[in-house]
Structure 1
Amino acid sequence: MANTVRKNYPVTGMGCAACVARVQKALQQSAGVQEAEVSLASNSARIDFDPQVTSPSALRQCVQDAGYDLLVPDEDDEADPDLDESEALEARAEEAHEAAFRALRRDTLLAIVLAVAVMALGMLVPAFPGKSWLTAALAAVSAAWCGRRFFVTAWKQICHGHTSMDTLVALSVGISFLFSLFNLLFPQVWTSRGLEAGLYFESSAMIVAFILTGRLLEERAKHRTTQAVRALIGLQPKRRDIRRGELVEVLPGERIPADGTIEQGRSYVDESMLTGEPIAVFKEAGSPVFAGTLNGQGALQLRAEQTGRDTMLSAIIRMVQDAQGSKARIQHTVDKVCSWFVPAVIAVALLSLLGWSVLTPDGFVRGLLACVTVLVVACPCSLGLATPTALTAGIGRGASQGILIKDADSLQVAARIDAVVLDKTGTVTTGQPEVVELRWLSDDPALPALLRTMELRSGHPLGEAVAGHLSDTAELPDVQDISALVGEGVQAVWQGKEYYVGKSAPERFAPAERWRESGHTVVYFHDGQRLLAALAIADALKSGSAEAISALAAQGIRVHLLTGDHAAAAFAVARRVGITDVRADALPADKVAYIKELQAAGHRVAMVGDGINDSAALAQADLSVAMGKGSDIAINTAMATIVSSDLAKIPELVALSRRTLRIIRENLGWAFLYNIIAIPVATGLLSGTLGFVLNPMVAAAAMACSSVLVVSNSLRLLIPKK
């Protein structure tokens, strides 16, 4: 669809992986929707749709028809081009979450009180007239009030032909309570057969209490996994009346309200929310600033260039939301398992009831207990949460470190990288020339000032590097006839004598050959007869480049340098940072071919670049990483973006992705192992071998703990790795 747009909308009412499957199926079958992915961890839907065919309100109706709700922007929000709808939606989602969380907490506390009371009546309080009826009344309040959410949701889903975790809970609580109530009303049905009319009100009340407690802890933990987006949205400026081109005053301590350029003033600005770097950056006239960053002690006047939803902060928010709403390939497999999990559990529960009833004398009661226990102990939630909670936490952690990950698949791919290809200029180096060596061959104290004056007024890029190197030297006011000689350098007249700065010299300078072999550009300063000074100029290395490459090597990753620069410069940089695999003089097509060579040799390749000439190679690589200060084309092509352009973030990205994948494996391993063991034990098949039958109350506690364990394990990703 040519006019497809991508939006992230909060979803309410989902409780397990089966709910996710229903919402996703409903959206995918809606007219105009190209693709939809629903996340239980972030309670959101990422939808690609054609706005000429459908609308957010139509999508919401589609989700509501499936028994859930989709929070979409109001018409006023959509009509305002300067309002980032993510903030309005996040505020509404946060409000809905807070209301739901308060209700859940209230119901949980009441359910615990009722469960304790029912247990005390059943086990500690001596018999008295009406004791059983009081127990039944307390259990009824627990089921009908505290557990109403399970029955309401289950009924809605049954009406739509669906099942979910709530279906299992509603069945188990309902069967326990109704069976106990039947026995209380008609005990003679059992006593006439010489059997005890057992009451299981404790099971009913404890199931509700345990499930609600688990869900409360789960919701609290899930909410933490999405804190990165909420933190970013909280940084958005509150001033909405700013227009492009407008001059804006920013007082000390205020947040920058728009992307723009400083026109007047000097200050330090905290950009940690964008770059992950804790040190404030000095800003003065001509410096770029970004919305949401925090001004320090100085007053600034800036020219607004991007406002509202066009700022870098808004783009980062959308990117993180897209990533957290996406699914890794492994999650699609888990979703398929979860889609038949609940029906399969119900079938096993019914078979348990039937088997015990038919195969053992008077086995109906035992079969009923096994049926209830199977329904309670099964945990599709742990399966459904295993992958998305870890991915959401991992992507959020990356955002807080200044690493923007495009989607879940990118995180999964990054964990398997064994070769990293680096562009040189702008990636390993700053892309800004600097003087690395200056040799004076004359002791005239006025010459440094003359050289600086000539270079400062030349307008040549190398001239800026020389002038910067001599910044402590004053300019000479009486230098005349400064002019650029095309292809040669700069010429000037001072005190009636001509002076030259350029690539030619009137006499041989021995170190020049060594400088050139090191990849440096050699510049001479002379008066036409005598060489006065020689300078070696090189592209400056980025701080920490060598350490970053060493860290990648320690992770078992081979680093390659791939550049369009000449061989001498490429090998010189490679030696300084510790890279042995170098390809120089590479055109864009050569870069693609080099990536393909590595892939053909069996390597999983990450390409790191920042320029338009890197975009084709970025697209070819298994993992593409763009430096945040690079071209828009490179950033749009990339699967991950390093906001600060700090090469040290690459090994951090690899470490984060490997850690995330390890936690996903742990979560899935636990979830599958739990269900594989718990369900057979719950049926009572192993009662002869193990010598016990699992109680529904214990089953409820085990199920709740299973989900909480998975989510808590994922939250480890939010803890900084030391």
Structure 2
Amino acid sequence: MVKKAEINVEGMHCGSCATLISRALQRTPGVLAANVNYASRKARVEFDESLLDEQRLIDLIASKGYGAKIGVDPDSERRIREKEIADLKITLAFSALFAVPAFLFGMVFMDVPYHVLLLFLLATPVQFVVGKNFYLGAWSALKNRIGTMDTLIAVGTSAAYGYSVAAMFGLVTEQYFETAAVLITLVVLGKYLEAVAKGRTSDAIRRLMGLAPKVATVVRDGREVEVPIEEVAVGDLLLVSPGEKVPVDGTVVEGRSAVDESMITGESIPVEKAAGSTVIGGTINKNGVLRFEAARVGTDTVLSQIVRLVEDAQGSKADIQRFADRISGIFVPVVIAISAITFVAWYFALGMSFPFALMVAVAVLVIACPCALGLATPTAIMVGTSIGAQKGILIKNAESLEMMHKVDAVVFDKTGTITEGKPRVTDFLAAGQEGDLLSLIGYAYAVERNSEHPLADAITEYAREQGANPWEAREFEAIPGFGVAATVDGRSIYLGKPERGTLGAETAAVVGRLQDEGKTAMILKVDGTPSAIIGVADTIKATSARAVEDLKDLGIETWMITGDNEKTARAIARVAGIENVFAEVLPQDKAEYVKQLQEKGHKVVMVGDGINDAPALAQADIGIAMGSGTDVAMEAGSVVLMRSDPLDVPQAIRLGRATIRKIRQNMAWALVYNVIGIPIAAGLLYPAFGILLSPIIAGGAMALSSVSVVTNALTLRWARFWVTA
């Protein structure tokens, strides 16, 4: 029987660790599929439980030098991540404590007494205490017959350190202690920054789970009893009062109310509920008392399904294999082989002295040290992310910038993303000769000031903006399912749903037009006469249309996805210039629509702001969350737009494309540098021209290569890819 296991893996410090564990699992008899996600620190394994059990999988991972646990809760995961970040911070401080003085004594104060011994004392703790993980990673890679950045770092720094030890004993003349110490420190700095950026991943799940109430009020034997949420069963009759969270999914059997479902559906307007209506666990009851029958509890609720979808999307997303790691898989063994062949050729075949052969062999390793190759991507990423931060675009990981240049489809959530996310009065039209318009607005203001109707705030805000008189309403009455009525200035006022049979043809036509535009239409009656027509809608953001136009200019298709009805969705999409619409989509299905686009070959960006968008944000190749949205959406997204401006979506894509160009330029330079530099360091030109690179010159060339890469990355600041609204 096939079983699935989710294993939390501890001790992974780079993407190659995930590759090693994944390969080990996949080679194990009985394992049908295995995916190790470095970002989430999880291994998802499908296996035949007649051949394997979970403990054997844990033991296998442990045999590779990593910790493994099953069933770690989000709080425990958070504590593990916080400890990892704290440990890296201490390691970085320890490394810098020795590396900075080593750099100063190695490059500036070179005439101090016992210069080389002092550098040895400073570099040794960095090499063997801080660098221990690189040696372990290189050893693991060696056992699995692959080369990684760990291998490059271990070999490069060991070559510099070992040559320097030889210099300390007078075997050679130059030393590179400071090179080894500074390189290790810079790599640890990068790992610390990476850990900080990835440390919030599990918080999204924890916050989602926190939305579910802990207790519920159940009606049993005619009495109201408060019980833990785990004890609620399907068929139980539950009571939810105003201001309380709905505990589980169910069907209303008694009562009327408006329920705020924005944290689940993303829609800003509370939904009116009556007998027969469906309620969703985690949503908030606004005003009336509701009795409902539990239909789905525990892991079957919509909220639990969303949690599971976020976990699945995060776990199934393949790691982006960095270009440098792909190259290093071939580059590392080749460089080591060239270094060994160089030594053998000069010492044994050509009869040169041991110091000469050693000097040339080490020069090969030093000039091929992975500084430029290692800096090519992170320096461009650092510059790109800092530019984004200055513009209010927070990019959480390098993978997102690297993926931007492949994007060819953007899916926008509607509410709070394309639109403002709250209802506003868009139309206030006189329907007859009954008083001037400002007086009619005053009547609407008077009755809605006392109303708890979801649209009341939009009308009162509009009235205040128009400077309407704050009339006083008497004999106020809320008419469930229809509207509100009151006596204002001696006149009978009704505001609510339009009743088609009581409207004139012209008024009915206006109401129909507003509804066709996706707006909520209401009628204001004065003394029983229809006097004004009010249109309320969630209005489109000022920059939405420009954003869509910019995306089209970039050759990117745009889509809109919403839980709204088809008519409203099409009306909003038409104004924004979006031709492709997914309407009436359930919250738990949004991720599936994103997946459908991916299966057609698209690289998809999902843009959203609500909890309901979290699974889709995680499923997409890049998730972009609006800064005004929920914490869960912002943590599920890999990019956050602090200004909540749709125009920043094409800006982020332009930034990503510019950054990947710099990465490619840097990679090209690093590779060309090695292709040219390694043969020269190996002494290829020595027989004919007498040209030979000493390790110090090779080290200088290596440093120049690194400076060139960093300088090229910095030119990204002046690249002309930004546009303004």
TM-score with structure 1 length normalisation? 0.62
Shift of 1:682: 0.7
C-alpha distance in structure 1 between counterparts of 2:560 and 2:484, whole Å: 34
Shift of 1:664: 2.9
Identify the residue that residue 536 of structure 1 maps to in structure 2. 535
Identify the residue that residue 230 of structure 2 maps to in structure 1. none
Query: Of residues 411, 417, 442 in structure 1, which corresponds to 2:434?
Result: 442
SS where residue 698 of structure 1 aligns? helix
Any conservation in 1 of the 2:152–2:369 contact (CA below 8 Å)?
no
C-alpha distance in structure 2 between counterparts of 1:79 and 1:583, whole Å: 35
Any conservation in 1 of the 2:409–2:603 contact (CA below 8 Å)?
yes
Any conservation in 2 of the 1:215–1:704 contact (CA below 8 Å)?
no
Shift of 1:692: 1.8
The aligned amino acid for 1:478 is R
**1:507–1:93 Cα change, 3 Å:** same
C-alpha distance in structure 1 between counterparts of 2:503 and 2:715, whole Å: 66
Identify the residue that residue 343 of structure 2 maps to in structure 1. 353
1:509-524 equivalences in 2 (<5 Å): 509=506, 512=510, 514-524=513-523
1:52-67 equivalences in 2 (<5 Å): none
Identify the residue that residue 102 of structure 2 maps to in structure 1. 107
**1:140–1:581 Cα change, 3 Å:** same
Any conservation in 2 of the 1:393–1:715 contact (CA below 8 Å)?
yes
Instruction: Note the alpha carbon deviations across 1:461-494, whole angstroms, 9 max, x for none.
Output: 33432222113531414345453464xx444445
Query: Of residues 503, 507, 528 in structure 1, which corresponds to 2:504?
Result: 507
Any conservation in 1 of the 2:440–2:532 contact (CA below 8 Å)?
no
Instruction: Note the alpha carbon deviations across 1:604-660, whole angstroms, 9 max, x for none.
Output: 333434568767866775544455666899778766565665423422432343234
Any conservation in 1 of the 2:548–2:578 contact (CA below 8 Å)?
no
Query: Of residues 459, 464, 469 in structure 2, which corresponds to 1:466?
Result: 459
1:406-445 equivalences in 2 (<5 Å): 409-440=399-430, 441-443=433-435
Shift of 1:697: 0.8
Any conservation in 2 of the 1:140–1:177 contact (CA below 8 Å)?
no
**1:660–1:5 Cα change, 3 Å:** farther
C-alpha distance in structure 1 between counterparts of 2:619 and 2:181, whole Å: 48
Any conservation in 1 of the 2:558–2:580 contact (CA below 8 Å)?
no
Is 2:474 the counterpart of 1:478?
yes
C-alpha distance in structure 2 between counterparts of 1:82 and 1:169, whole Å: 33
**1:218–1:714 Cα change, 3 Å:** farther
**1:566–1:692 Cα change, 3 Å:** same
1:189-228 equivalences in 2 (<5 Å): 200-201=172-173, 203=174, 205=175, 207-212=176-181
C-alpha distance in structure 2 between counterparts of 1:338 and 1:533, whole Å: 72
**1:556–1:49 Cα change, 3 Å:** closer
Instruction: Note the alpha carbon deviations across 1:155-213, whole angstroms, 9 max, x for none.
Output: 999999786544445446645775896xx8xxxxxxxxxxxxxx841x2x3x3345545
Query: Of residues 325, 329, 338 in structure 1, which corresponds to 2:320?
Result: 329
Any conservation in 2 of the 1:483–1:492 contact (CA below 8 Å)?
no
1:383-398 equivalences in 2 (<5 Å): 383-387=373-377, 390=380
**1:371–1:626 Cα change, 3 Å:** closer
C-alpha distance in structure 2 between counterparts of 1:571 and 1:518, whole Å: 9
**1:718–1:101 Cα change, 3 Å:** farther
The aligned amino acid for 2:435 is D
Any conservation in 1 of the 2:6–2:42 contact (CA below 8 Å)?
no
Shift of 1:549: 2.7
C-alpha distance in structure 2 between counterparts of 1:438 and 1:607, whole Å: 35
- Greater Cα shift, 426-435 or 106-115: 106-115
Shift of 1:399: 7.4
SS where residue 375 of structure 1 aligns? helix
Any conservation in 2 of the 1:229–1:396 contact (CA below 8 Å)?
no
Instruction: Note the alpha carbon deviations across 1:583-605, whole angstroms, 9 max, x for none.
Output: 37554599789768866775433
Identify the residue that residue 303 of structure 2 maps to in structure 1. none
**1:348–1:176 Cα change, 3 Å:** farther
1:661-676 equivalences in 2 (<5 Å): 661-676=660-675
C-alpha distance in structure 1 between counterparts of 2:108 and 2:491, whole Å: 99
Structure 1 unaligned residues grouped into runs of 5+: 12-16, 39-43, 65-69, 73-77, 119-136, 185-198, 233-243, 246-261, 263-314
C-alpha distance in structure 1 between counterparts of 2:564 and 2:420, whole Å: 14
Identify the residue that residue 311 of structure 1 maps to in structure 2. none
C-alpha distance in structure 1 between counterparts of 2:198 and 2:136, whole Å: 31
Identify the residue that residue 98 of structure 1 maps to in structure 2. 93
C-alpha distance in structure 1 between counterparts of 2:381 and 2:646, whole Å: 23
1:183-262 equivalences in 2 (<5 Å): 200-201=172-173, 203=174, 205=175, 207-212=176-181
- Greater Cα shift, 672-681 or 410-419: 410-419
Any conservation in 1 of the 2:102–2:177 contact (CA below 8 Å)?
no
Any conservation in 2 of the 1:35–1:48 contact (CA below 8 Å)?
yes
Any conservation in 2 of the 1:455–1:466 contact (CA below 8 Å)?
yes
Any conservation in 1 of the 2:21–2:61 contact (CA below 8 Å)?
no
SS where residue 521 of structure 2 aligns? strand
Any conservation in 1 of the 2:85–2:192 contact (CA below 8 Å)?
no
1:596-635 equivalences in 2 (<5 Å): 603-610=602-609, 622-627=621-626
The aligned amino acid for 1:653 is A
Any conservation in 2 of the 1:609–1:625 contact (CA below 8 Å)?
yes
Identify the residue that residue 654 of structure 1 maps to in structure 2. 653
SS where residue 647 of structure 1 aligns? coil
SS where residue 421 of structure 1 aligns? strand
Identify the residue that residue 548 of structure 1 maps to in structure 2. 547
C-alpha distance in structure 2 between counterparts of 1:227 and 1:637, whole Å: 15
Shift of 1:429: 1.3
Any conservation in 2 of the 1:21–1:339 contact (CA below 8 Å)?
no
Structure 2 unaligned residues grouped into runs of 5+: 46-53, 144-150, 202-212, 215-242, 244-306
Any conservation in 1 of the 2:473–2:486 contact (CA below 8 Å)?
no
C-alpha distance in structure 2 between counterparts of 1:214 and 1:619, whole Å: 34
- Greater Cα shift, 369-378 or 507-516: 507-516
The aligned amino acid for 1:507 is G
C-alpha distance in structure 1 between counterparts of 2:716 and 2:396, whole Å: 18
C-alpha distance in structure 2 between counterparts of 1:151 and 1:485, whole Å: 74
Any conservation in 2 of the 1:566–1:584 contact (CA below 8 Å)?
no
Shift of 1:436: 1.4
Instruction: Note the alpha carbon deviations across 1:529-581, whole angstroms, 9 max, x for none.
Output: 6432222322222353234334433433233344454565444433433x151
- Greater Cα shift, 457-466 or 85-94: 85-94
C-alpha distance in structure 2 between counterparts of 1:361 and 1:586, whole Å: 80
Shift of 1:680: 1.0
TM-score with structure 2 length normalisation? 0.62
C-alpha distance in structure 2 between counterparts of 1:475 and 1:7, whole Å: 65
C-alpha distance in structure 2 between counterparts of 1:449 and 1:620, whole Å: 48
Any conservation in 1 of the 2:446–2:472 contact (CA below 8 Å)?
yes
